[in-house]
């Protein structure tokens, strides 16, 4: 089990069992987003499939020595809870008190209400890190990833998901506080520029680019987008409760898990999934 105090210089344990930082930091994420996500996560095919994809990759590239995975910007702890249920040691790092509190209610042991800056993690103190749909919310993604690299232990993994394709940009990206969308090449490039080694990369959600373009991007480009709150479109897009539609979606997406289990990269999809590693040593170029 990770020793939070040994890894951080800026956290104190609250009476509610959550670790808090004394400082705060502004983030590009709507205040009501965690509550909106919490209302749909359990019944959403999207959150369910993303969890399955992440779990497949973590099982294929597990942290060394069963090290703790720090799920940074982990919201309500839906991913962290899934990893924990699969037997991985997880610490959730979430700056929003709503998300941190709901993650604690989910039964997560290690919940930290802070950003990586305000938590003041010590250099090379984190065995592994997850950034699941987080990087697109960071204006200077390269500087952020370099700072994350400094926190990860040598040989540690970083697991990443981001929304794909800049051409799919819509008003919902704006509402969500995104600065950009990525291609698999562009997210890989920024990760390599930050000093990571690519272990595996793939698109996921192969079903989504076309409906996303038709239902989100095209109305946005034509100026037909409706004024809609974050929670409203989350319920509209994510609430598929089992039944025939849920079963069909799950069956159509299941081959992606088979591919990931075989380390088979997919050529297109609505999201990018990348696993990178921090080198154990600074390699010198051959003369």
Given a contact cutoff of 8 angstroms between Cβ atoms, the answer to whether 274 and 214 are in contact is no
pLDDT in tens, 32-55: 777 878 778 888 899 999 999 999
The yes-or-no verdict on residue 226 having pLDDT over 80 is no
User: What does the block give as tokens for 217?
Assistant: 């991007």
State residue 236's pLDDT score. Answer: 52
- pTM (2 decimals)? 0.92
CATH 3.40.50.150 fits 4-278, yes or no: yes
For 142, half-sphere exposure in the C-beta direction (CA atoms, 13 angstrom radius) is 7
For residue 240, what pLDDT band results from cuts at 50, 70 and 90?
low
Contacts with 138 (C-beta within 8 Å, 6 or more apart), sequence order: 28, 144, 179
pLDDT beyond 60 at 230:
no
pLDDT at 15 over 80: yes
Residue 204's DSSP bridge partners are 271
Residue with tokens 């369910």: 48
Domain ranges of the chain: 4-278
Among the listed ranges 75-79, 240-244, 258-262, which one has the minimum average pLDDT value?
Answer: 240-244
Q: How far apart are CA 9 and CA 119, in angstroms?
A: 7
The whole-angstrom separation of Cα 277 and Cα 157 is 4
d(CA 73, CA 160): 12
């Amino acid at each position: 089990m990770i020793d939070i105090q040994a890894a951080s210089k800026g956290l104190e344990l609250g009476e509610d069992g959550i670790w808090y930082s004394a400082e705060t930091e502004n983030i590009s994420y709507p205040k009501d987003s965690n509550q909106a996500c919490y209302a749909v996560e359990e019944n959403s095919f999207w959150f369910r499939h993303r969890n399955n994809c992440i779990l497949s990759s973590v099982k294929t590239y597990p942290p060394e020595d069963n090290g703790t995975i720090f799920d940074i910007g982990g919201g309500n702890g839906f991913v962290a809870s899934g990893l924990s249920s699969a037997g991985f040691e997880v610490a959730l790092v979430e700056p929003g008190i709503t998300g941190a509190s709901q993650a604690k209610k989910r039964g997560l042991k290690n919940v930290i209400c802070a950003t990586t800056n305000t938590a003041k993690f010590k250099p090379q103190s984190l065995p592994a890190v997850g950034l699941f749909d987080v990087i697109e919310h960071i204006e200077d993604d390269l500087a952020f990833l370099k700072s994350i690299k400094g926190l990860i232990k040598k040989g540690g993994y970083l697991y990443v998901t981001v929304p794909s394709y800049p051409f799919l940009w819509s008003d919902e990206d704006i509402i969500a506080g995104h600065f950009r969308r990525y291609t698999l090449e562009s997210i890989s490039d920024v990760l390599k520029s930050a000093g990571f080694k690519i272990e595996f990369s793939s698109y996921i959600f192969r079903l989504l680019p076309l409906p996303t373009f038709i239902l989100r991007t095209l109305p946005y480009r034509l100026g037909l987008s409706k004024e809609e709150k974050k929670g409203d479109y989350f319920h509209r897009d994510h609430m598929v409760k089992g039944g025939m539609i849920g079963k069909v979606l799950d069956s159509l997406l299941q081959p992606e898990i088979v591919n990931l289990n075989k380390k088979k990269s997919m050529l297109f999809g609505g999201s990018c999934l990348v696993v990178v590693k921090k080198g154990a040593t600074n390699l010198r170029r051959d003369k």
